Chains A and B, each alone.
Chain A
């Protein structure tokens, strides 16, 4: 297995290199000049000031030189560059935000997983029941509702009208310093963003689980198992679920990097400080080294979770071998 894993990792290197080149080129091809926009806001800024800032930030250099310099920093100094906006190394900025995004994405992931899989199974086993119709309707709502709108709706209902949850942020300003108070406060702030971010995955997985389960329970081997008199519970959880969940694994594994993308909107609505919001800011301010770093992190995560999905496949399904 290790040979397989190492081979896959080696294959990834040129892919990541190409992604970095394409991303750098695309970010640099974006229309606009963040420094020139400063002139709109600062009446004292002159053309000389603009030229000076371009020189300091290396923006007067051709694209290929800037890319090579960035690559050199990444490979030889493990330096992802400096934020033009915040004037700090990109790694410092990301380190400041990654923890909060991890909590948000991880909690949404767990919520979606632990709600979607059982409900998907339940709906499949009780196809066309009232509950099945309800969850089908719910999943269509979950699919189609935009994150931004759902976030605002939840805020309006639970924060403004019912006053059950805080309007935004990730912690209260004054909380007792003990662990439990801090934990409860953070969880209280996490409820609405977690539901908002997890909603579309939850709806998708629910539908997917339902359809794969429906497919599997109609297979001959399930019919045979029933004919042999094996307990229904055993048939479902030992034989059917194990086969039905295989395609769901890829979907679930790929959801984490996708959720990072969804976090951009969710974090903005709930004023939740994380990487999504940082990414959004870096894009609108054309802080390209920050955007580059976050895109590369997502690219690495996509590759890693792809690999992890393949390994999990073989673990769950003994028919699969690493050759």
Chain B
């Protein structure tokens, strides 16, 4: 009898374990970077994706795949109409009234309160705390605490995204950081294990293990305030070599891969080699703008808009996109993503479009004083200078290098000779090169933007790098348009979105008319998953694709 009982218990134990193991849902996700850490001191895309799974990187509002915004740790989205967002235009100041959800706790069980916001703000604003950016936090004058779950943020200037789209700092666990902050021990805060292997937050998953160079394992947080996660365990595996990552996806060693992931050519190769019923490769237009900046400050011919327009008319973007990106990407006529909330249909009616037309390009060059010389190269009739253009991009970026080759052929047709002079990215983007305009004519690269970007940092005339401003500013092509700069100033302080859209329409009209840069296309965000995974909805912007990870499932 005793023996039978023992056998019964052992069998029950084995069965229970087997059932429990079978029911455990584990998802392994491959990413091509390892986060360097979590929080505002770090900037890697991989860090943002993983961090958002543990602790929301957009705490007040989160953005979904349609770029719609929803309250996150807050009870509502503030607005001017109901008085939760008070704008004092006369004094250029604002107050935003927040009420937090009261059912949120940190993963260690401590309540999540306004105190965490205050300490997060104070640490961010400390002179020696190396936050990547403090720009928006600097707009905040004071946090007025009205209780554990209620506070008012006082702004010292008008800022249209103060409704939580951009907070400018992150709440931090006060029960961890109050003490070192009060002792003014910023070094202890910066080097605290919290930002790495000891990281925790309020998100859908808790950090279980971080094996440096290998993976991060996360366990579901059953108390997550937006709903209990369906998948029990998420493992992010760091696979920097994209060919190895491709093998891992094919063999099922990882079942999904989110940004940062395979390059376009690897993703296309994967898509071709696998059964689409088994693996889905998703391409979504992102907000990284590939373009060619023209050095309009130092190269005289580019100061003539006819020459710039001629280059655009001589560019067959469709051929480039078909050859390099197999037609997956569509071309762009302006520096703003078609998904940007400020871009409305009116803009398409007023902007100038430069269709591919080599004859028109030659006519424009002729009007600008150029004619073909005996060698076939366009030569200025007065100065005798030939149109031989230097173009640079990041060496090793095969897509850009191929695009360059095609451009060289296309421009050769209208008598423009191109000299390719590529450089490694660190050298290309070196301050002494990019901002001091050590590139003589043209530079091909991409700007990353966000749904809240308005282009002020790139197109405002005050952002032209000059010797007087110590070569600071990102308007590297040197576009100087007073009206456009005034529009940007106004947009930065305009609370009404429809008015911002109107202003933006006029801005794009001016931009496409002047054409300070040659727009090419917006890059793609690539996401891959095995078809037994459901719920993955990439955002295609800098908001994390893990915004709804608690709803992902494995079938």
Q: Which residues of A contact B (CB under 8 A)?
A: 30-34, 36-49, 52-53, 56-57, 82, 85-89, 96-97, 100, 152, 155-156, 159-160, 163, 166-171, 173-174, 268-274, 277-278, 284, 286
Contacts and interface: CB of A to CB of B under 8 A. Distances in A.
Contacts of B28: 173
Interface in B425-441: 425-427, 429-435
A271 B166 contact: no
Nearest to A31: B427
A167 B41 contact: no
Given A31-B430, A32-B427, A47-B473, 15 more contacts: A31-B424, A37-B426, A40-B447, A40-B448, A46-B133, A48-B138, A49-B132, A52-B127, A86-B36, A168-B241, A168-B253, A171-B214, A173-B235, A268-B240, A268-B241
A169 B429 contact: no
A49 B135 contact: yes
7 contacts: A31-B430, A37-B425, A43-B450, A44-B136, A87-B195, A160-B247, A274-B213
Nearest to B212: A96
Contacts of A167: 244, 247-248, 251, 253
Contacts of B22: none
A36 B235 contact: no
Nearest to A49: B133
Contact of A87 (B130, B248, B426): B130
Interface in B122-158: 127-128, 130-136, 138
Nearest to A280: B240
Contacts of A100: 213
Contacts of B450: 43-44
A32 B426 contact: yes
A273 B212 CA distance: 7
Given A44-B133, A88-B191, A273-B212, A31 B433 contact: yes
A278 B453 CA distance: 34
A39 B131 CA distance: 13
Given A42-B132, A49-B133, A271-B240, A169 B215 contact: yes
B145 to A, nearest CB: 25
Contact of A97 (B212, B432, B542): B212
A22 to B, nearest CB: 20
Interface of B: 26, 28, 36-37, 41-43, 45, 127-128, 130-136, 138, 166, 190-191, 195-196, 211-215, 217, 235, 237-241, 243-244, 247-248, 250-251, 253, 423-427, 429-435, 445-450, 453, 457, 472-474, 542
B405 to A, nearest CB: 24
Among B237, B244, B474, the one with the most A-chain Cβ atoms within 10 Å of its Cβ is: B244
A276 B299 CA distance: 44
A39 B45 CA distance: 14
Contacts of A270: 244
Nearest to B187: A82
A56 B186 CA distance: 11
B431 to A, nearest CB: 5
B192 to A, nearest CB: 9
A156 B246 CA distance: 11
A33 B241 CA distance: 24
Shortest beta-carbon contacts, A-B, top 7: A273-B213, A32-B426, A31-B427, A47-B472, A45-B133, A46-B135, A44-B133
A267 to B, nearest CB: 8
Nearest to B35: A86
A97 B447 CA distance: 34
Contacts of A52: 127, 130, 134
Contacts of A36: 429-431, 434-435
A57 B131 CA distance: 12
B448 A33 contact: no
Contacts of A174: 26
A264 B437 CA distance: 34
Which of the listed residues B166, B213, B235, B474 has the most CB atoms from chain A within 10 Å of its own CB? B213
B472 A169 contact: no
Nearest to B449: A43
Nearest to A169: B214
Contacts of A271: 213-214, 237-241, 244
The winner among B131, B195, B248 for most chain A CB atoms within 10 A is B248
B289 to A, nearest CB: 11
Nearest to B465: A47
B244 A168 contact: yes
B429 A40 contact: yes
A159 B240 contact: no
B227 to A, nearest CB: 25
A269 B449 contact: no
Contacts of A33: 426, 429-431
B444 to A, nearest CB: 14
Nearest to A30: B426
Nearest to A286: B426
A97 B435 CA distance: 37
Between A45, A49, A82, A167, the greatest number of chain B beta carbons within 10 A of the residue's beta carbon is seen for A167
Contacts of B217: 173
A52 B166 CA distance: 21
Nearest to A272: B213
Contacts of B138: 48
A32 B243 CA distance: 27
Contacts of A163: 251
B215 A173 contact: yes
B469 to A, nearest CB: 8
B336 to A, nearest CB: 13
A160 B217 CA distance: 24
A239 B131 CA distance: 67
B243 to A, nearest CB: 6
B239 A168 contact: yes
Contacts of A159: 247, 251
B197 to A, nearest CB: 10
Nearest to A41: B448
A152 B457 contact: no
A53 B42 CA distance: 12
Given A49-B133, A167-B244, A269-B244, A44 B166 contact: yes
B244 A39 contact: no
Contacts of A43: 447-450, 453, 457, 542
Most B Cβ at <10 Å: residue of A31, A44, A53, A82:
A44
A50 to B, nearest CB: 8
Contact of B247 (A49, A86, A155, A169): A155
B43 A168 contact: no
A87 B213 contact: no
Contacts of B130: 52-53, 56-57, 87
Given A53-B130, A88-B191, A170 B214 contact: yes
A169 B134 CA distance: 37
Nearest to A85: B36
B481 to A, nearest CB: 21
Contacts of A40: 429, 445-448
B430 A38 contact: no
A166 B248 CA distance: 9
Nearest to B287: A43
B555 to A, nearest CB: 21
A244 to B, nearest CB: 40
A47 B435 CA distance: 12
Contacts of B248: 167-168
A274 B195 CA distance: 21
Nearest to B197: A96
Contacts of A37: 425-426, 429
B449 A32 contact: no
Nearest to A50: B472
B551 to A, nearest CB: 23
Contacts of B36: 85-87
B77 to A, nearest CB: 20
B133 A42 contact: yes
A166 B239 CA distance: 13
Given A48-B135, A49-B132, A86-B36, A155 B244 contact: yes
